[in-house]
Amino acid sequence: MRRIAIIDYGVGNLRSVEKAFAANAVDAIVTSSVDEIEKAAKLVLPGVGAFASCMRGLQEHGFDQLVMDRVAAGVPLLGVCVGMQMLFEESEEFGTTKGLGILPGRVCRFRDDLLVPQVGWNSIRQCHEHPLFNGISNDEFFYFVHSYYCEPRDPDTIVGLTEYGATYASVVAKDNVAGVQFHPEKSQATGLRMLANFAK
């Protein structure tokens, strides 16, 4: 059984995520194979660009239901950037687009008076203990690129908070599902540590 499947649904360059796992000596592969995704011990759902185009790509490959089925079966899933946003019920980007609805909440745009997108390094305040943070200090910096942020309805799902004009959820988790708004594969040693934590 391959350890981690990074789901390739035609959006973005995913090799950097694969290489980040490889740097931790973790067996991971970028794949669009249903068989690989069904057999993987863990899944990574990446996402780059607009929410609607990511959801459309996921649906066109038939991976939306597959992801939900694997989550329901208890398989650990990590959503990255727009991949985290897709875990929620809907996004207001370019009108309203439905997400996977795995977590309750919606995706909203940053205020107009802020420089959008937020691009660069920002810190995360850990508000709950979680295995993703093992060996990572509070207020560590990670690399962000996004114009929209998640508003979870259940505050217990928020495990990390970031400040950009207001405080928003930058790390979420519930049961076997987690999401990070930043790019761990671009966040140097701290990001690699978080990916290693997910692998463990």
pLDDT band at residue 160 using 50, 70 and 90 as cut-offs: very high
Would you say residue 11 has pLDDT above 90? Answer: no
The maximal CA–CA distance of the chain, rounded, in angstroms, is 49
54, 140, 150, 183: the active-site residue: 183
Residue from 58, 86, 78 nearest 148 by CA: 86
Residue 150 is a catalytic residue: no
Say whether pLDDT at 22 is over 60: yes
Mean pLDDT of the chain: 94
The CATH label, of 3.40.50.880, 3.40.1160.10, 1.10.3720.10, 3.40.50.300, for the domain at 4-199 is 3.40.50.880
Tell me the pLDDT band of 78, cut-offs 50, 70 and 90: very high
18, 93, 140, 185: the catalytic one is 185
Residues 6+ apart with CB under 8 A from 142: 121, 122, 123, 124, 170, 180, 182, 183, 184, 187, 190, 191
pLDDT of residue 2: 63
- Residue ranges of the domains in the chain? 4-199
Taking only the tens place, the pLDDT of each residue in 47-74 is 888 999 999 999 999 999 999 999 999 9
pLDDT band at 15 (very low <50, low <70, confident <90, very high): confident
pLDDT at site 55: 94
Look up 93 and say whether it is catalytic.
no
Question: Is 127 one of the annotated active-site residues of the chain?
Answer: no
Catalytic-labelled residue, pool 18, 54, 81, 150: 81
pLDDT at 1 over 50: no
Q: Which amino acid is at 127?
A: C
Tokens of 151: 């508003």
